[in-house]
Structure 1
C-alpha cells in the first residue's frame, strides 16, 4: 500500500515477554535539513540492526513519503507493521512502526497549533497533532497497547516569556486526555515524542497529573536534571551551579537535544571541517551547558485491568552513532529508548487513579495564562481587522488619485501601492475575521475544560481536608 501499511494480519498466539520502545525526532525537513535522505536511510538501517530489536517505534519530523518508505523497506523484517500519518498542509511528520498488528489508527490535530502569520516557523502549516495507534500484542481482549506519538509546538523563547506557551500547554492537555481515555478503556499506554518541554515544566505536570502515565526516565533516574545547566543558572540568578559533563548528560540526565556529541550542535568551523573530512574530538568529561531532555516515553501498564505487570528493565539515550560516510549525527536529536519486561505476577499493583493529581493552584496558573493569551489575541484581531479596513480606504484613495495623476509613472506607483497594500490587508483580514476567531473559540473550549478540572480538584481537596 502507498503508506506502507501491512494487510493480511495473522492472529497472535502468545503475549511477548518484553517490549523495546524507541522514540526519535529524525529532523527530516524537506529542502531544509542537510543530508536528509541519507541520514534517514541510516536511521532505518540502525533500527533494522539494533540489538535488542525494537518492538514499537515512534518517529517525529519524518516529513516525506520517500524517507518513510525507505525506513519501512529496511525494517520490514523486524517491524512489519507501520503507519505514516497525514496532517496539515505539509504533513505532520509523524509515523509509528510496530512488530505487531496495528488494529486501528487515527490522527488527532491539536485545536491550538501556532499561527499562520508565523510562516517562517511552520508549526501551523504542518498541522501538529497526535498519531494514535492501537497495537495488538497478544490474543487476550486486553492485550493491547495504545500508542500516542506527538511533536508539541516548539518554544521560540524561554519560558515563561514564550508567546506559544499557551499552545504547548493546551497540546499537553489534549494528549493527556487521549492517554487517560486509553487507560480508562483498560489498555496499556505509551506516549512517545518530542514534547519540546523540560521535566517538571507546566506541560509536563499537566501530562502526569491528568493522565495515569509516568515519565520512564524519571522513574529510573528521579534525580536527573530538569533542564540544561544554562537554564538552571538563569533560574538561580546567575549563581554557580554544577554543570554535568557531556557523558553525564547522556547517561544520567537523558539529554536528547543540544548535546556536545551531536555534530549539528557544533560550531560553524567544526561543521566545515567535518564536511572536508576533518573530525573533531569531543571529550566526554567536558562540561555541557546547553544539553537538555525534550524527548520522552510516558508509560502506564494498567496492570490491574490488563492482568499484565510490565516493569522497566532499562532506559537510555540512543542513536548517538554517526553516519558511516558523512560522519555527521543521524539527527539533531538523539533517541530515547526503553525496554519493558513482563513480570509473572502482579504483586501489590493497584488500579491507576483517574482523578486529578494536580493542585488547584496549577489550574489557576493555566487559567491566568489563558486569560493573558485571550487578551493578546483579541488585540491582534482588532489590529488585523483595522489594518484590513485601513487598506480598503487607502486602495480606494489610490484609485481616486489616479484620476488626477499628472504622469503615467505616478499612476503606476499609485496602482502598485494599492494592489500590494490591499493584498496585505486581505491576508490580515482573513486572519482577523477567520483564524483568530477560530483560535479564540478553541481557547474558550480549553478554558472551560480547565475550569471543570479545577472544580474537581477543589472538591477533592475539600473531601480530603474533611476526612
Structure 2
C-alpha cells in the first residue's frame, strides 16, 4: 500500500506543479450478480474483474455477494481502493473501485423501494439507494464525487428525485460523475433532473444525437442487446453516466469519449459478461480558472423557469404513483380500515358456515379453503402494513417538490408530456 501512495504523491506533485491534465478512464456496469438466479455468476464476476485493468474509477451494480466483491478486489489489483455499500438484508448491490485514494464515502437508502408484493424483484430485501465515494485526484484541491445507483422501475421517479437531492447537497466544490442502472428510458422526464436541474451532461450524447433520436438508435442499447445470451426482453438503454463539465474547485472535465465494452462473449466461454454491457467514458480533467468563479454552494435547482417546469413534471409523475399507493392500500384511511375489516369478517363467516353445513366427506375441502383464507389475510395484512412506508416515502418526496415550488412562488402550468412516465411495466429490474 505504501508503494501505491508514493506513486500517487508523485502524480499529484507532477500535476499540481506543471499544470498537466489528467485523463480518467471511467466504467459503469450492471453485473447481474444474483445468487442462485444468475447463471455462471462466479465465472462472470471473475471475468469482469479481469477486464477492470486499466480503468481509473469503476462503479458496479448488482454485486450482491460480499464474496464476489472480495474476489473482484483480489483480481483487480490495479484498483487498490474500493468500497462496497452495505444496506438492507442482502446489500445495495453497489460498489466502487478506484486507482486513486477514496477519502470518504456516504450512502443514502431510498425511502420508497420494493414492497412485500414485489418479492420476486428482491427490492424489499436489498435496501437500494445511492452511494457516493469522494476520490482524491492528482492536482491541488481536485476531488471527484463518484455517485452510483440502481433504481426500481415502480418507484423510479421518486427515487431519481431523491438521488438528485442527494447529489445537490453533497457535491460541494467537487467534480461529479453519476452513473448506474436507472431503469429509465432516454425520453423520460426523470433524466431531466440531472441535465436541467443539476447541469450534468449525459456522456452518450454527441453532435446531433438527442434523447429523441437515440430512443430508436440500435447503438445506444445497454441491456438485453440482440445476441446477448442472457437477454430475453426488448433491447433498451437504461444505463447512464452523467458528468459535470466543470466544478468550482477550479477544474473541468473535457474531451469525453463514450464506448460500450464487454459486449462480446467471454473469451473461451459461450456466454456474455452480463445481460448489460459496460459503459466506458474517457474524460480529461484540466485546470479551468473560470470554473473556480462558480460557487456551487449557492446553486439552486429551482432558480429558473426551465428547472421549475421539470420539477412540475416530476411532481405530476410522483403524484400519480402516490395516488396509486393510496388507492391500493386500505390502511391509509380510517374508512379504508373499516371496510377491510368488514369484508374479511364476512369472508370468515361464510367460510365457517360452509364448514358447519357441508357433508363430512367434504370437510377436507372446507378446511383447505379456511387455511387458504387465513394465509391470504395474513399476507395481505402484512403487505399493506409494510407498504405504508412506501406511501410515506413517496408522499415525502411529493411534499418536498411542492414546498420547493411554492417557496419560489411558482405558478407555472405543467406542460403536457406523454413520455413523463414512460412504460409503467415492471419488466425493468
Which of 240, 243, 248 is matched with 1:299 structurally? 243
Which of 141, 145, 168 is matched with 2:156 structurally? 168
CA contact (8 A) 1:198 1:227 kept: no
Q: Which residue of 2 aligns with 1:369?
A: 317
How many angstroms apart in 1 are the aligned matches of 2:390 and 2:162?
Answer: 15
Residues 38 and 134 (structure 1), Cα distance of their counterparts in 2 relative to 1, 3 Å cut: same
CA contact (8 A) 1:21 1:56 kept: yes
CA contact (8 A) 1:387 1:429 kept: no
Cα shift at 1:455 = 3.2
Query: Is 1:338–2:338 an aligned residue pair?
Result: no
Q: Which residue of 2 aligns with 1:214?
A: 201
Cα shift at 1:264 = 2.9
Residues 364 and 69 (structure 1), Cα distance of their counterparts in 2 relative to 1, 3 Å cut: same
How many angstroms apart in 1 are the aligned matches of 2:388 and 2:307?
Answer: 31
Residues 396 and 105 (structure 1), Cα distance of their counterparts in 2 relative to 1, 3 Å cut: farther
Cα shift at 1:215 = 1.2
Residues 339 and 33 (structure 1), Cα distance of their counterparts in 2 relative to 1, 3 Å cut: same
Residues 85 and 120 (structure 1), Cα distance of their counterparts in 2 relative to 1, 3 Å cut: same
How many angstroms apart in 1 are the aligned matches of 2:145 and 2:411?
Answer: 29
More RCO (CA 8 Å, sep 6+) = 2
Aligned residues: 392
Residues 121 and 389 (structure 1), Cα distance of their counterparts in 2 relative to 1, 3 Å cut: farther
How many angstroms apart in 1 are the aligned matches of 2:380 and 2:61?
Answer: 31
Cα shift at 1:421 = 1.1
How many angstroms apart in 2 are the aligned matches of 1:348 and 1:188?
Answer: 11
Name which of structure 1's ranges 107-116 and 384-393 shifts more when overlaid on structure 2.
Answer: 384-393
Cα shift at 1:85 = 1.9
How many angstroms apart in 2 are the aligned matches of 1:460 and 1:395?
Answer: 52
How many angstroms apart in 1 are the aligned matches of 2:253 and 2:260?
Answer: 20
1:24-35 matches, within 5 Å, as 24-35=29-40
User: Runs in 1 of length 4+ with deviation above 6 angstroms?
Assistant: 6-9
How many angstroms apart in 1 are the aligned matches of 2:291 and 2:392?
Answer: 45
Q: Which residue of 2 aligns with 1:425?
A: 377
Residue segments in structure 2 that go unaligned for 5+ positions in a row: 16-21, 413-429
Q: Which residue of 1 aligns with 2:209?
A: 223
How many angstroms apart in 2 are the aligned matches of 1:179 and 1:257?
Answer: 25
How many angstroms apart in 2 are the aligned matches of 1:401 and 1:291?
Answer: 52
Q: Which residue of 2 aligns with 1:314?
A: 257
Residues 175 and 66 (structure 1), Cα distance of their counterparts in 2 relative to 1, 3 Å cut: same
Q: TM-score, normalised by structure 1?
A: 0.74
How many angstroms apart in 2 are the aligned matches of 1:137 and 1:361?
Answer: 36
